[in-house]
Amino acid sequence: GESPRLQQDVPTLIDSDQLDYDDTKQTSVFTGNVVLTRGDLSLRAERLELRQNDAGEQFAVATAGAGKQVYVRQTQPDSVELIEGYADRAEWDSRAEQLDFIGRAVVTRMACSQKLDEIRGERISYNQQRNVYSASGGQMSGAPKGRVRTMIQSRTTSDAAVKSCAPTGGKQ
Amino acid sequence: MRDRATSLIAGLVLLAIVGSTWWAADYARRSIPVDPPRRVTHEMDSFIDHFVMTRTDETGLPAARLEGPRAEHYPDDDSYEVRQPRAISQRPDRSVTVATAENGRMDQDGARIVLKGDVAFRRPPANGEPGLLIESEQITLLPNEDVAFTELPAAVTRGDGSRITGTGMQYDNSSRQLTVSSDARVKIAPRAPEAND
């Protein structure tokens, strides 16, 4: 299908309780109920450090308070699928459109609130543009014994799930 | 016996002289009208039109300027009320900042300037860096520390179009750090399309 809207021309909106912004280094540290939204991506964390280079590309590192995890939700622009991710720490690179979930990471792909597939691991990298993710194990893995556990629905069931709430009459 | 009488008389005469000179001095001091105490009411005692006040830093270089069409001085707290003030920070090694407002009040011997009414604190773009504009209903400047802060809601607009809003802000021009103390919201503008290709 056509490539999703170029993510670069989308404003980034970040809400938080406090903010420390360094104008010379163009770095911002957001603390307290941080919510970042950028197009179809939204991220919730306790603390977010954002660096922006002169070309306007953003690099963010989000961490959660003790006992909580960073939550990321990414909907696909032209389908009912959505990706939900939890991790101790999330790193986001707007140039490479890469999202890394690090530490007890769990990424779930859903369609019409039905779980299509789920990956657990210590580190899961998700590429927003190609909608592809890769996972690696480790002792901080979300799955038991530090391995990667992947549960993927068969193609038929996931297509059925997608069709079940996709707008009828195909794409407008 | 006579010696005792004469020394007694001499002592008495001496005592009289000391007493009278003390009385005369006291009488003289009381009779001269001493300056009346300074008026301590909050009424203007002097004003300046079209003024420029320059503060120099320790090395004597001009560090900050306050200009305006009119400043009124109040003796009770030694403060100045300024209409349409322009407060400029111009330290050699730092970017210039210009703050304007409807009116301002300078006190603490110039260490604090409180700007009120449509306040715009601007750092013009310089050597390739986008400028910065902070707008609020009230901003307090501390020229010696080169710091500006407010407890009220404020909005920051950066030259590249991104905006920061929040309640309670502090901007330190020496380290160019900006802190927002509550409900901060940052909107980073997308790169202008022509900037990409």
Q: Taking residues B164-191, what's their average pLDDT?
A: 92
Q: pLDDT for A102-125, tens place per residue? A: 988 998 888 877 888 888 888 888
Beta strands in chain B (DSSP E): 46-56, 62-74, 79-83, 86-89, 97-100, 103-107, 112-123, 132-142, 147-158, 163-172, 177-188
Taking CB atoms and an 8 Å limit, are A19 and B196 in contact across chains? no
Six-digit token string for A48: 């977010």
Count the Cβ atoms, other than its own, within 10 Å of residue A1.
8
Asked if B15 and B109 sit in the same domain, the reply is no
- Same domain, residue pair B15 and B50: no
The verdict on B133 and B166 lying in the same domain is: yes
Q: Above 50 in pLDDT, residue A1?
A: no
Tell me: do B25 and B119 sit in the same domain: no
Confidence at B86, pLDDT banded by 50, 70, 90: very high
C-alpha pair distances (Å), B97 with each of A145, B26, B93: 58, 59, 12
User: Tell me, what DSSP letter sits at residue A144?
Assistant: G
Q: What is the Cα gyration radius of chain B?
A: 31
The reply to whether residue B177 touches residue A23, judged by beta carbons under 8 angstroms, is yes
Residue B179 domain flag: yes
Q: Is residue B34 part of a domain?
A: no
Average pLDDT, rounded, for chain B: 89
Which letter does DSSP use for residue B35 in this model?
P
A53 to chain B: closest CA residue: B191
User: And the tokens for A91?
Assistant: 């790193």
B25 shares its domain with B116: no
B143/B60 same-domain check: yes
Q: Which residues in B lie closer than 8 A to residue A56 (C-beta atoms)?
A: 160, 188, 190-191, 195
CA–CA separation, B139 and B116 (whole Å):
7
Long-range CB pairs of B135-141, under 8 A, 24+ apart, other chains included: B136/B169, B138/B114, B139/B99, B139/B101, B139/B115, B140/B112, B140/B113, B140/B114, B140/B115, B141/B87, B141/B89, B141/B99, B141/B112, B141/B113, B141/B114, B141/B115
Residue with tokens 């004469």: B6
**B153: chain A residues, CB-CB within 8 Å:** none
Please check whether residue A86 is in contact with residue A101, taking contact to mean a CB–CB distance below 8 angstroms: yes
Under the banding of pLDDT at 50, 70 and 90, the label for residue A5 is very low
Q: Does pLDDT of B2 surpass 60? A: yes
A11 touches chain B (CB under 8 A): yes
Whether residue A146 is predicted with pLDDT greater than 70 in this model: the reply is no
Q: Is the pLDDT of residue B197 over 50?
A: no
B35 assigned to some structural domain: no
Map tokens 């407060």 to a residue.
B87
Residue A166 is predicted with a pLDDT of 65
Residues B22, B56, single domain; the answer is no
- Looking at the domain assignment, is residue B195 inside a domain? no
Taking one residue from A and the other from B, the number of pairs with CB-CB distance under 8 angstroms is 74
Closest CB from A20, A23, A52 relative to B188 = A52
Average pLDDT on A42-49 reads 94
Q: Flag whether B133 is in a domain.
A: yes
Query: Same structural domain for residues B90 and B162?
Result: yes
Q: For residue A22, which residues of chain B lie inside 8 Å, CB to CB?
A: 175-178
**B195 pLDDT exceeds 60?**
no
Assess A162–B contact: CB distance below 8 Å, yes or no: no
DSSP designation for A142 = S
For the purposes of burial, counting CB atoms within 10 Å of the CB of A98, is it exposed (0-12), middle (13-18) or buried (19 or more)?
middle
Mean pLDDT of all residues in B34-39: 69
B191 neighbourhood in chain A, CB within 8 Å:
8-9, 55-56
Q: Is residue B25, in this structure, part of any structural domain at all?
A: yes
Question: ipTM surpassing 0.85, yes or no?
Answer: no
Give the pLDDT confidence score for residue A139 in this predicted structure.
66
Lowest mean pLDDT among A103-107, A136-140, B1-5, B131-135: A136-140
Q: Do B4 and B88 fall within a single domain?
A: no
**Per-residue pLDDT band at B196 (split at 50, 70, 90):** very low
Q: How many domains does chain B have?
A: 2
| pLDDT digit string, tens, across residues B8-30 | 999 999 999 999 999 999 888 88
Stretch B143-152: mean pLDDT, rounded? Answer: 93
Domain that holds residue B11: 1-29
CATH number at residue B157: 2.60.450.10
Whether residues B170 and B125 fall in one domain: yes
Task: Say what the pLDDT of residue B171 is.
Answer: 95
Q: Does any domain span residue B116?
A: yes
**pLDDT at residue B85 in the model:** 95
Place of tokens 């580190």: A123
Residue B196 lies inside a defined structural domain of this protein: no
Could you tell me which residue, B188 or A55, shows the higher pLDDT? B188
Q: B85 and B6: one domain?
A: no
A6-10, A144-148, B26-30, B161-165: which is most confident = B161-165
DSSP per residue, B103-151: EEEEETTTTEEEEEEEEEEEE--BTTB--EEEEEEEEEEETTTTEEEEE
Is 70 exceeded by the pLDDT of residue A171? no
| B21 membership: H or E segment, kind and range | helix B2-31
Give yes or no: residues B64 and B160 share one domain: yes
